[in-house]
Amino acid sequence: MVSRNLLPISIRVRHPIYDEVIYCEGVKEKVVVEVAMQHNDTYTEGIYTFVNNINTPEGGTHLSGFKMHLQRHLMNMPETINC
């Protein structure tokens, strides 16, 4: 559970919409992925990415891939729950 500890203090200072951090992890082909998210009451996007516990301020392919699949999942959600 490394990602929960890596949430920057700047995020913790803002007013979160909910108290709990959304956290998930998975392993595929010996690659470990951890994601921690928390939404706050601002409109400013603050994304902090890490690879091997090293901050990658420009994001990279892992961030663009995550965003793409998150959007795809959210767009398909109404069909999944029959809305």
> Considering the entire predicted model, what is its pTM?
0.62
Residue 35 contacts residue 2 (beta carbons within 8 Å):
no
- How do the pLDDT tens digits run along the chain, 83 residues long? 445 565 555 555 578 888 788 888 899 999 888 888 888 888 888 788 888 878 888 888 888 988 898 899 889 888 888 76
> Which pair of tokens denotes residue 72?
């795809």
Distance from chain centroid for Cα 46: 10
> Which pair of tokens denotes residue 44?
């400013």
Angle at the Cα of 73 (from 69 to 74), degrees rounded to 5?
120
Query: Could you tell me whether strands 22-28 and 54-55 are parallel, antiparallel, or unpaired per DSSP bridges?
Result: unpaired
